[in-house]
Amino acid sequence: MKKYLFVCFLCAFLTVIGQTEDELTVFEKDTIDFSDMSNEELSKLKSRYKATEIEKMVTQAIVVASRKPISLKKSPSIVSVITADDIEKSGARDIIDVFRLVPGIDFHVDVQGAVGMSFRGLWAYEGKILVLLDGQEMNETAYSTVVFGNNYNISQIKKIEVIRGPGSAIYGGYAEYAVINIITKSASEINGLQTNLIIGQAVNTYARQNFSISVGKKINDLSFSLSTFLGRGQRSNSFYQDIDGHGFSMVGNADLNPTNLNVGLSYKKVSVRLIYDMLATTTRDGYIEEMSQAYSNNFTTSLAEIKYSPQIRSNLVIQTKLNYIRCIPWEFKGVAAPEDDYPSYKIIADRYRANVAAIWDAKYWLNVTAGTEMYFDKAQKPILNKEIQLFRNDDASEVHYLNYAAFMQSLIKSRFANITIGARYDLNSASGAAFSPRLGITKKTGPFYFKLLYAHSYRAPGIENIQTSINNAILPEKSMTCELESSYQINRNMFLSVSLYDILTRNSIRYTFDTTFAYSPDGYVNSTKKIGSQGIDIEYKYKSPVGFINLAYSYYSVGSKEVDEANAVSINRRASLGIPNHKFTLLTNINVGRFFYISPSANFLGKRYGYNSIDTLGNLILHTYQPQLQVNVYVGAKNLLPGFKFGMGVYNITNQEVLYLQPYNGSHGEYPGMGTEIIFNLSYNISFKEKESQ
């Protein structure tokens, strides 16, 4: 696979540099290069050439791959964009449904009912994928996880930008494998009052009951927005069985109750963002065996940011940001032995961050971004039930860490290609140094787009990774990723992209048992194995006034990489536990008349492997799970009544047994998802009247 990737890289690079200046001149005279235009510029084109939806998609400006807005197909990363229209037309119930549309992403169970992501065949739950909400880190700082299920206000999402590849050169230690940037609607886009109600009903219980309300307005230089999201839901209406054969009904034992408040305020060059996010869950599955009852297990994050971005000169912007994050993750209210032997747990983790960056358009062909960042982590464990909690390695109730970073990026435009060169250097007081360089070459040739990408990235150990490391020694996990993307605009309504990747990870941070450690035989270590994956992602998009088709296929293989024992599949060397080698998603939309539309969709997961039981000697039994196909349909209406949008859908029409598998050998049983669910979605918008100009 490495040789194949190298040949593809070489061929594409020769194609890039092989064009002569005369060829470029002829091409520029004979065609319009939409990829250099923003949506605003496209909208100003004369009626002789009206941009199609596909052309707007290709040329839309994104910021997740670089601090400077750049068109999607010229960005120095492989990026998937999910728009508000995609989300609305799909009838998505929550953010999991949305992310299932992205190649390479799948979902799995960890412990205590928590569900997280894998990416490109690698378990990415603990600090390997950075999740941003309006630019704010949603990864908690204790274990660096992000939990999903009936959370995030999808009705207020403007778009989601997903870097399907490393982002540490820009974002640091949570962006090892991918970056997800969730952007909500701005004050001017809300421009009034917006409400949304979604109700989901399963055969034997409610599935979800969520309500959101948002208000926003822009008045001259002042903008403000406020969005609230409240609800309750359940992970499943099925039955859970642990590896010992014990089990319970998931109804009433796997709650997913979100509370979110998102406030944005800006005046001229100053902006403020405040977010409160809490996912209150209940769990009865614990770590291995079922518990006698359901216990609360909550995840709470509070964030505040103030940003000042003055224009120093016409070509120079200085951006200053101050951030504060408080995380209270995995807040578990349990019972000590002898009943269940799951004691309570609580950690309060604060992060204070300062970031200064200069964005300089040095020449029309050169943009340079450089800056520095520092953050201070403080974590404490309060007294619970009159019991003192201590961090294990420091034997203290409070710990502190410092991280310093410097970063630089250059975007260079030339006749031959656009080149991105960047790097970031981090130095952490607990885990040491990490250097993350990146190189990207992007090129447009007629209807073809090429990207050659190479980057180093890392995963910074979380606070509890450091404190529960064996022998009090843990280093950053480091990865090297090579990517090639080739895209082709088939016609004005169709677009096809194919991307190849190869990932190699060293010093993988993993949880293990060590019986030689007398007092606590478990903990985190750096693996000595070189793990990774390689594979291909394919996306096809069609958009026209009739509707759209989004097709995505992804394949990964362990290939020549090593595999940790906890992730290995003894009967399939190419696969990792719990993660399908093949994934296929389909989302279609057909407009019916002026007001109605119908959106069938499907999600296919190939064969998977997991441990779900034990034999008479106590050995875990590997089980092969046959392919899983989930089929859905959603029917919606808009503009039928002023301000109203409504729809109805059926998810998992065939009542397929949806299972979240544990992607490592952790002795956790298969975790069921929701069966057939009927959903009702109702939105109502009131727009503020604009003051008429004199």
| Joined tokens for residue 655 | 């009542």
For the record, the structure tokens of 388 come out as 């003192």
Task: Please indicate, yes or no, if residue 398 is contained in any of the structural domains.
Answer: yes
Give 198's strand partners. Answer: 210, 681
In-domain check, residue 458? yes
661 C-beta neighbours (distance < 10 Å), count: 26
**pLDDT value of position 484:** 96
Q: Using alpha carbons, select from 166, 127, 139, 172 the residue that is nearest to residue 461.
A: 127
Residue 94 in domain: yes
Where residue 524 sits, what CATH number does that domain have? Answer: 2.40.170.20
pLDDT at 76: 84
Residue 31's pLDDT is 34
The parent domain of residue 304 ranges over 2-31+63-214+221-687
Q: What are phi and psi of 253, to 5 degrees?
A: -120, 5
Give every residue of the chain whose pLDDT is below 70, as ranges: 1-50, 65, 336-339, 514-521, 690-694
User: In whole angstroms, what is the distance from residue 140 CA to residue 346 CA?
Assistant: 13
Three-state DSSP at 171 gives helix
Write down the mean pLDDT value for the chain: 88
What is the model's pLDDT at position 385?
81
Is 436 contained in some domain?
yes
Do the domain assignments include residue 41?
no
481-516 burial by CB neighbour count: b if 16+ within 10 A, else e?
Answer: bbbbbbbebeebbbbebbbbbbbbbbbbbbbeeeee
Q: Is residue 330 part of a domain?
A: yes
Is there a domain that residue 463 lies in? yes
Quick check: is 44 in a domain? Answer: no
Number of domains comprising the chain: 1
What is the pTM assigned to this prediction?
Answer: 0.90
Q: Which amino acid is at 313?
A: R
Report the distance separating Cα 183 and Cα 199, nearest Å: 24
Total Cβ atoms within 10 A of residue 612: 19
d(CA 662, CA 115): 9
How far is residue 665's CA from residue 108's CA, in Å, rounded to a whole number? 13
Instruction: Tally Cβ neighbours within 10 Å of residue 463.
Output: 24
pLDDT digits (tens, 9 = 90+) for 476-501: 999 999 999 999 999 989 999 999 99
